Amino acid sequence: MKEFENNIYKGYIKMMTNIVVLSLILFMSLSFWIMSMTASTYYGSLHPISPWRWLFSVIVPVLIAFNGLKKKSLDHTGALGGVVVGFILTIANLSFFTSLMTFFISSSKLTKWKEEEKKRVDPEYKEGGQRNWIQVFCNGAVPTELALLYMIENGPGEICIDFSRQYTASWMCLSLLASLASSAGDTWASEIGSVASTTQPRLITTWQRVPIGTNGGVTAVGFLSSFLGGSLVGIAYFFSQLIFVNDLESSAPQWPVVAFAGMAGLLGSVIDSYLGATMQYSGWDESTHTVVSQPTVRNDQQDDFRKAWRDLHELMLSEMRRTRRSLYISTTILYDDQF
């Protein structure tokens, strides 16, 4: 009887918590809408954002982040960072949102795929991935910045990618898509290639065979996976355009974004592998028979210090990779279109 009462009490607490959270989300959405209306009235040239868009931009990222936290795809800081990134991309353009969700969901599923094999290959493997705010920042900082610039240039809303009509906004859309596609391609290559390839990886710089898990090691399966990962993000963007954009008939064809995203995923993976081969340490630990990312030491304090330094180095390198890939792809688009 007591256990039954406790279950009822827990259910009541959960229900009240959900009601409070939903009320706060509604309050935030209405507050944002009021500020949008006020700014539109004051400046005159701004278009107010509908309350439904505000509500969707707040509630959906919160629900997805909560689900990621529950399934251990994110830790608490990663969930908070994901809400911020998701909110900005969603309010800017729903095509950005669908691309982001495609990357996040597919990468989370692949991270959990064949976990036991990945644990044997990578001694630092975390269950479910458990990405923190820094990892979310490394993957989402460039898209978030581009989404903010897109809103400054064009305002919130969906547009056709057409350089003859909206040159700057189209460039920003493709840059953001390239950033997400390259992140997806890199993740797919790492998560699939490490356990699905039947051949030993080769170092991308010298083409010598290396153990599984070596930074800069590549396989044909990894390259194919990176292309497919980027293409999936492009497909999500393309179908979002078909659903949310009204003037597709009079605009340039949108289907090339799929091939563009696929190539961005492949190129991102190649650049990531090259930087990993030339700028990251890889060694073989005889005691665990696995590849390690730092020299093995015996002193615990030294080990903790070097681990912290390695984590900081890898995160900074990861952000540099994302930024360089996005800038390279974006610059290529810009100059190819001009010349």
Q: What is the mean pLDDT of residues 282-294?
A: 63
Helix axes 256-279, 220-244, angle to 10 degrees: 140
- Domain that residue 259 falls in: 135-338
Confidence tier at 299 by pLDDT (50, 70, 90): very low
Query: Which DSSP helix (H) or strand (E) runs through 311?
Result: helix 300-338
Q: Is residue 55 part of a domain?
A: no
Per residue in 314-329, pLDDT tens?
555 565 556 555 655 5
Cα–Cα dist 256/249, whole Å = 15
Confidence tier at 302 by pLDDT (50, 70, 90): very low
Structural domain count of the chain: 1
Per residue in 224-270, pLDDT tens?
999 999 999 999 999 999 999 888 888 888 899 999 999 999 998 88
> What per-residue confidence (pLDDT) applies to 193?
78
Per residue in 113-142, pLDDT tens?
777 776 666 656 555 556 788 888 888 889
Cα–Cα dist 92/152, whole Å = 10
CA terminus-to-terminus distance, the chain: 78
Q: Is residue 60 part of a domain?
A: no
Q: Is residue 150 part of a domain?
A: yes
Q: What is the mean pLDDT of residues 8-15?
A: 64
Q: ∠ at Cα 178 (175, 179), nearest 5°?
A: 90
Name 338's Cβ contacts closer than 8 Å, sequence gap at least 6.
Answer: none
Q: Is residue 282 part of a domain?
A: yes
Q: Is residue 46 part of a domain?
A: no
Mean pLDDT of the chain: 77
> What per-residue confidence (pLDDT) applies to 236?
95
Helix/strand/coil (H/E/C) assignment for every residue in 64-113: HHHHHHHCCCECHHHHHHHHHHHHHHHHHCHHHHHHHHHHHHHHHHHHHC
